[in-house]
Structure 1
């Protein structure tokens, strides 16, 4: 193990330097790890053939053990192969395997903001689901930037992932020209290219309407809406759900009660401040995301308002973060793990 005296930033540079040092063997006191003590000739590459020879089995049997099939292997024979693999330090050549099978057993995930708790939880759920199916997950972040989105998508395609899972930015351009025909792509959360690609989204309209109906059932008639960016279909659908619930209850969906902001804590904070500054402020707020609601809670606390006694807040998402605010948020919860299984 090598310990570097690196500052926290830039960690990527530290990792790349360590890789270069390992490749060139120029680190002070570095010696290539010796296999001789384990009875392995370090001059000979450890391959599937040498493992088979060490275990006294055929290369086909080694393949069956590594791939858990397709043919069964006796427990005693399996143990011999695994012991030989451990003793020789054998690592399967995944690149060669991918060339033979034309599958890399990797999936690419592209999200707009990996620091957003919703996308972090979604990535974890997708990674768990992929792992259960024998796949690794590569994640990239577009940082809500359309050009970076295309660049990251091209990088994932260049790594020959077996499939792509994409949460779009607000960009309206099609991704069709960027994705090979034999690479499946599924849109998540924001179905901007739904006529071209398969998509899995929540019922944003119905969920938002249910959240606002909950507030109406508690006697609130003037309900503000912290909506998301207008170029995102999910944000527009949630705003429409807010308006539909008010209309169904014969209440006014007043435009002055709608403030659109990024799906962020800061966005929710400033939008809530604007709502609270109205001459006739709302008695309840529907926030289109948990992060916006967290910012709204701060604005309410700073204004000296008690929740829910003075003002009620309901949000859309239901991430773990919503359970640890004070008070805990009332939420319309998306079933992230159910979405990941689809």
Structure 2
């Protein structure tokens, strides 16, 4: 009997199922001794074959990743592992894709992504893998909407240092650590573009390892503004990111009470309101405030983050 073919969902449909977060931890593909620790400490691991691996170690890094994804020691769960491949111009991409084709990898990060044709080629080589373009060049910013609409794309990711270099600048941040104006503009452009195309966005790293306050502020902004996750470069950053994405007790109480009121208004059973379409009822009163669909959606998101926190 032939196997049934399940149609590949659209990028927007996949985006709703993309829930690897909030703390995504980079780990060099050349350091398999760190794979297990990275997986234990984070919500998902981004194994890097690009910038974190020197040219002479690329082939060994590929072997390390394939071995780990195939559950050989040190194993990595393909469902919670992303791999960042090399750029096409590096001459290493074909070897990366050949190696990964023999695994059950779920997500591929594409650095310096600039064209839909590039995504077409990747999707053909690795069918069924969710692709995450990394927007980190001026051309990539201008092409972000076209990239986000690609059926294989499940999220947008962005980066700062290559962007500022491509713009002709010398530093992405002001002396106090805050992003310069053009970088902040690009960050929000990526977030808006992803949301408009129905997929989530991933916030870039905070490279200041000793500045926990800066990381906390960036993480809180990312969580509040709508980024589904933030990338980390050290295990010690994970707790700060998770803390930013963990709702306060008062917020959870408010969300639970509002959803209960929403369920009563909509005639839903208990706990159905967490996932119900917010527009099933019109505006209603809750604690002396008028509530409509966008506020219900915010409450649902608070509870989703709360549930994810408890699972972790």
TM-score of the pair, normalised by structure 2: 0.25
Larger Rg: 1
Considering Cα pairs closer than 8 Å and 6+ residues apart, tell me whether 1 or 2 has the greater RCO: 2
More helix by share: 2
